[in-house]
Structure 1
């Protein structure tokens, strides 16, 4: 996972142990600062946004942009710093915001928070440059000598934790060079341009730095240590705590690793900062010197305000990289011989890890942070442990242990025993690399171990001794037994799975909230909680398709959420108003759906060509609404004639059909290699993120109009998609995307194959037909890390059923369904589904329970067809009249 992905996941895991949740709902009432709850000062109004509280003038709005001031702090000085800064702001009429509580400050200073925003405790918005400079003149002396993290994006002023940068004060948005929507500044020309918020101080080219700031700018440029003897050759990792770099000694050429620690940054659970942990690591490495499993340490240096631990550079791969490269259930066909080879390697690694921990314990230390990325395997097979930030004396009761999710010992586990727990968990991770599931319930670790012992044919005494901390978990296996009972028979208990998944979805509904109706992926909070992929539209669509009961108030909620969405950023089929419009139409609100779609269509066209949020998806939404509405009397004569020729009795909205025809024409030009202004081809392939969506649009138009040009255009798009596919050593066909190989529906060969199958039902194409067996083989791979529809087991097992000549309940498909036991969580009479990254549960369509419900509905043969026209466009007719998977996935 990328660092940005870790940061986002961490941020949305703070407020709730079960679901991804906005940090604004953090239960921090006991540590709120008085200014957050006291009556606002006269002439001010209080505005809350997430973890931030703003005090703004009642009689005027913020300036659009300008020089802003940031103040950082440490927890023990925060209240005084807030009081002194607020006094100056109120005296000068300056609007400001602050983190509302000590708990919020601690969390936003965590190691995994974004570096660009790290350290910011207060933000001041002076109305003009004169006030800006006047406030600085008072604020810097008032806070002189106070402590706080360095704010990397800003210019520091004097010896106070006061920083400045030029930037936006209010939310303005524009599109950057990569087509992403980003915060914006207004150029003197009036054009909106990106407001760059990185980790380096920058000034927009049209802005003049005020004269009083120039000495501080010069001081920043002069900072550093010219005697530091190392030259950085590569950046290996960044976090809020600092960076890790590969470096070379300028005189000797010796390769080293520099571990950087930023003062007052990267706070952990007990408030220790990165510098405290770095010096703890230095003491441990010094005490453990000479052990083959420990890097040689070369000392500690301070450069400017940052501290650097200098240690031996270890050649080799991390244990995680070795697992990914070797994992037997992913590479190969899972024969007994292949599994035996892999388990022999696992046994060897485990034995060497045990020896390394024993050597460290013999010196009176615990390691405290064992997981696969903290183990390096040298080219000769020797193991080295890295990252000794939590290595302390075996009897240390104060320093917490660290560790990856699911691999940590219970709180309070003593030193050697905590390492023993992590050793057992790491052994199990090598066999089943989804140990995040044990973070939800340690009983899941017992289930995974039992599965692994059966599958790998392990001897009873294989692996490390099971930790004593798991004995209590073994007494709580009732829910795990219920899940097994639903899945382990010759045929899964489809009805009960459906009932319990629906119960879990219903129980998570929060119609009293305005930011979300159902818990889902964190991305839902950025789109208002109403979209198809991660929001209420997708959940309500799945419930509608399976015939589950729904509270009418939920449809009202969806409608209200759609109307709250910024019309300038309407999104696309799965991430915005077009998809919501189709769902509202399916739920009986066709006029409202059409109105929402028109709002979306009035915005500037998307630069993307794909189905997810691009033009293919928006045009497909138009076709869905055109079939449902049939009210349009306009449109071009060509659109009207084509539809009439195909079906004289068709009732369609010709305006929407014309929009789809224009889009399809542009997409075909793009596929042909022509330049289409404002439109870019996807870099990869897949149903949602590739040109398969364009091919599907052409198939829909062919079914609607009978025009063979659309069939030929679909073939061209699919041939281009096929160019991204490669055959892997095990015979599976996957999309190659850089170093990754993908099978999924959103990006990967699984989604490509579904559209190719629909195309092949209409026209022969041997090169496309040749891909399908290998794709299907990949869709039933035994190990799939996540359970979701777009990028997990739900989507792949459903695709395998759609592509199977044996029917959707082929034996290998049912075997994949049974392996849902790895992921499903029982909570009373409900089933919960972990979302993307497995850290919290989700009910959404893309990653959670709604998507799994839809996939099981398809595999069980539930429901009835939606009409010959729709089915003909999206999939070969099903023998039992039930909808095809492509129809279900694309709102057909």
Structure 2
């Protein structure tokens, strides 16, 4: 999953969906070298935010000493022209950021430090040319400005830097089994090209003599006699770091706030140094206030500026919320909620007083959010991070803030702080305020829900800001969404109809990088995979009876064929899963061909279902079975080669579980359906169903026993997977996914120990508060698991209540519903995090699997399927079908269900678990 910096990068080009930065709207800010015809004898290649110029008669070398040039916006065009002239003179390929807007974004505070500052990259063909060009370029650019590139060695007084690294994309696996960019070792072996924030040289590379004086200068600058010793790094960003430190002589503890020149640009174009000195001025003006840290001064060490201020004992408000939040850490009684809301009121009162004291000094804070508030041990509050603190009447300095907590554009002075105070109060009650970033009216929905749930009267909390009046008058769509979820039973058909409309509206078949908007991971997997790509979305549409245009299936097949067969991936992130989906969509031959291409690559070391061997073997089983739409004996057309391959993998996984060392395999570190041994257990169960061999059933039990060892019973009675200091309930990693497989196993063999864990898992999966809505790590997966495992099935009160709380997350867009993805920053249509996963979950919960799949109850004791799984001559399911299609939209209606929307066999000996597992694992 992408980190914060990568997620921020994919939020730049679009306000609604995660989008590749290459689609940034910057045509009006392109540099002439990008838009003008390339120089004679040169060719131009576009790639993301970068434009490359290469001599027509040559290609870059594979690796070597590369040169980076940094710049500031006002000098960029001149620096680019001068650098390009040197490159043309020596025939050196180079690339550059294509526009001023791209430069500003890549220099921003939240960009990854490893690549920050790089404006131009040169690829000299050998060391001789490298040194010649380096000398000429340094002389040409001496005196120019630019941010320091942390991964490189600086050359002289120019913004010119060097490092040894790869010129072309070659890949290898690192020590964690992750695919990373590679260098070729003199032995011929590919090894990781380490790209950190410290200058390093591969051990086999000799540093040229011409670089040694610059190495010495770097070492001398690092020993500048700074009187403080850093004891702990608290935070890093492209702007600099925040450190806990002690004075060398007195031992006095302080906080050092570092600012790197020309780095960490904000939307106003201010760099970190500008903001640091603004903070120093504000803290000086606010000296003596109890809610403000004492400031001790500013020092410059080499080129970096440090603000030295008081270290305030305590924890951030965000940490306090995580540790106290009543909807997670209590049973939710009125008395428990009252204790929490009393604490919220106390913190809010102190924050109100603190902001009033700041305003009385003529300043606004400008960056109020839970991470910038310290709760002292005695309960007093302190504000930190005054980078945006400025005069109350200043309308030029932007307001900062966390996503969803910022006031509307144009809100200034004390009013901006008042808005952030109200949003922070609401965040303490409902810590998903990112939703207000999609639609400000969503904050009103959260406020209404919170007041009702916590029993707060209309006067509780800060005054609602005037800046919300526009949202109040345009909140009709929020009421329409709530209406779909209210009542004794949700409007299943209405929800599915709007979700499908949202998926269809987001489709971009004209693009080659992705068909549907998804998590940022979609851009690293080629756009065709199951978890984040087109395969998962098309499967969800197909399984729920929604329209799947043939052109979309063509797109999936064409895109999958372009994927590098040397890195095929696994069930959810690669070709094996895509092969299964193509087969399910009627392209069996193409699916089998894709699978065979993937099988030619070396198998992964991981054992799990997500990307490892259990998932690949399960894909083989899915393809080995005959088309379920055909009549005749179910094993008449089983592909025994694929079945045998899956069985061999299952035996290897069982040996690993039993403690044997299996070359090329490593056991997962945690538990869960996708990331633990639950996937291996599921594989064993499927093989048992196909073969009747009880050895596979016994192996499934051993794998589940190993998974159960990761589970702990929490003080609230829930059963969760423990991983270090964290605990998980999810399908991806967590007890929810493990319990589904355990439920399917218990339908075949009794195990009191496993059975005892399930009630605690069901209780956890029915949690009232879930931060994200997605299938793999959010409410969609948890509520489906609760419905599958609960004795009352999908009509259990906790299950229906959880579905109703989807109103927190669903974003209305005309007659469509959009779903925010991981991190809640942008919307996603994918299976793992977005609308497709929610669609599949609601399909199961509404009873859409009954008859339509003929699951479990149509499976005979020997693993065969009964007639409920057959397909009629018109392509529809047999008489057991429950689809009842809505002819107007092509979206399935709620269908026939047991009672009010009960999934097949839910709570009845594991039938619901088996049905849900089939949906989740491409069955």
TM range (shorter): over 0.9
Aligned to 1:638: none
Change (3 A) 1:57 1:50: same
Instruction: State whether structure 2 residue 816 is matched by structure 1 residue 830.
Output: yes
Task: Provide the secondary structure at the position in 2 that maps to 1:712.
Answer: helix
2:474 to 468, 473, 476: 476
Aligned to 2:109: 111
Change (3 A) 1:419 1:470: same
Instruction: State whether structure 2 residue 664 is matched by structure 1 residue 671.
Output: no
TM-score of the two chains, using structure 2 as the length reference: 0.93
Mapped partners of 1:53, 1:611: distance in 2: 39
Mapped partners of 2:300, 2:664: distance in 1: 49
* Contact 1:754 1:799 survives alignment (8 Å): yes
Aligned to 2:442: 444
2:686 to 692, 700, 722: 700
Aligned to 2:915: 884
Instruction: State whether structure 2 residue 528 is matched by structure 1 residue 542.
Output: no
Aligned to 2:343: 345
Instruction: State whether structure 2 residue 897 is matched by structure 1 residue 866.
Output: no
* Contact 1:590 1:628 survives alignment (8 Å): no
- How many equivalent residue pairs? 875
Give per-residue Cα distances to partners, 1:139-185, cap 9 Å, x unaligned: 00100000000000001011000000000000000000111110000
Instruction: State whether structure 2 residue 718 is matched by structure 1 residue 709.
Output: no
* Contact 1:696 1:874 survives alignment (8 Å): no
Mapped partners of 2:374, 2:661: distance in 1: 48
Task: Provide the secondary structure at the position in 2 that maps to 1:837.
Answer: coil
Tell me how far 1:224 sits from its aligned partner: 3.1
Task: Provide the secondary structure at the position in 2 that maps to 1:528.
Answer: coil
Tell me how far 1:314 sits from its aligned partner: 1.2
Mean Cα deviation higher: 243-252 or 868-877: 868-877
Aligned to 2:871: none
Tell me how far 1:311 sits from its aligned partner: 0.8
Give per-residue Cα distances to partners, 1:679-717, cap 9 Å, x unaligned: 111111000000000000000111111111111111111
Aligned to 2:408: 410
Tell me how far 1:651 sits from its aligned partner: 2.1
Aligned to 1:271: 269
* Contact 1:755 1:874 survives alignment (8 Å): no
Mapped partners of 2:41, 2:691: distance in 1: 64
Tell me how far 1:629 sits from its aligned partner: 7.0
Aligned to 2:829: 843
Mapped partners of 1:255, 1:682: distance in 2: 41
Aligned to 1:644: none
Aligned to 1:518: 516
Aligned to 1:635: none
Give per-residue Cα distances to partners, 1:50-74, cap 9 Å, x unaligned: 0000001222211100100000000
Instruction: State whether structure 2 residue 197 is matched by structure 1 residue 166.
Output: no
Instruction: State whether structure 2 residue 288 is matched by structure 1 residue 290.
Output: yes
Aligned to 2:796: 810
Aligned to 1:145: 143
Give per-residue Cα distances to partners, 1:293-328, cap 9 Å, x unaligned: 101111111111111111111111100000011001
Equivalence map 1:227-626=2 (5 Å): 227-626=225-624
Structure 1 gaps of 5+ residues are 631-646
Mapped partners of 1:865, 1:849: distance in 2: 21
Tell me how far 1:195 sits from its aligned partner: 0.2
Give per-residue Cα distances to partners, 1:31-68, cap 9 Å, x unaligned: 10000010011111111110000001222211100100
* Contact 1:343 1:456 survives alignment (8 Å): yes
Give per-residue Cα distances to partners, 1:631-675, cap 9 Å, x unaligned: xxxxxxxxxxxxxxxx89442111111111111111111111111
Task: Provide the secondary structure at the position in 1 that maps to 2:754.
Answer: helix
Tell me how far 1:226 sits from its aligned partner: 3.7
TM-score of the two chains, using structure 1 as the length reference: 0.96
Tell me how far 1:871 sits from its aligned partner: 5.8
Mean Cα deviation higher: 649-658 or 9-18: 649-658
Mean Cα deviation higher: 316-325 or 808-817: 808-817
Equivalence map 1:702-741=2 (5 Å): 702-741=688-727
Change (3 A) 1:232 1:766: same
Tell me how far 1:878 sits from its aligned partner: 2.8
Task: Provide the secondary structure at the position in 2 that maps to 1:329.
Answer: helix
Instruction: State whether structure 2 residue 43 is matched by structure 1 residue 45.
Output: yes
* Contact 2:855 2:915 survives alignment (8 Å): no
Tell me how far 1:125 sits from its aligned partner: 0.4
Give per-residue Cα distances to partners, 1:210-236, cap 9 Å, x unaligned: 111111111111113543111111111
Give per-residue Cα distances to partners, 1:420-443, cap 9 Å, x unaligned: 000000000000000000001110
Instruction: State whether structure 2 residue 707 is matched by structure 1 residue 752.
Output: no
* Contact 1:354 1:423 survives alignment (8 Å): yes
Tell me how far 1:840 sits from its aligned partner: 0.5
Task: Provide the secondary structure at the position in 2 that maps to 1:115.
Answer: coil
Mapped partners of 2:265, 2:659: distance in 1: 51
Give per-residue Cα distances to partners, 1:744-799, cap 9 Å, x unaligned: 00000000000000000011111110110000000111000000000111111100
* Contact 2:30 2:99 survives alignment (8 Å): yes
Change (3 A) 1:450 1:844: same
Equivalence map 1:89-128=2 (5 Å): 89-128=87-126
1:773 to 759, 775, 787: 759
Instruction: State whether structure 2 residue 219 is matched by structure 1 residue 192.
Output: no
Change (3 A) 1:877 1:695: farther
Mapped partners of 1:381, 1:877: distance in 2: 52
Aligned to 1:787: 773
Root-mean-square deviation (CA, aligned residues, Å) is 1.7
* Contact 2:9 2:21 survives alignment (8 Å): yes
Mapped partners of 1:129, 1:727: distance in 2: 61
* Contact 1:865 1:871 survives alignment (8 Å): no
Structure 2 gaps of 5+ residues are 866-902
* Contact 2:364 2:414 survives alignment (8 Å): yes
Mapped partners of 1:654, 1:227: distance in 2: 72
Aligned to 2:127: 129
Mapped partners of 2:764, 2:196: distance in 1: 40
2:14 to 16, 19, 22: 16
Mapped partners of 1:862, 1:692: distance in 2: 25
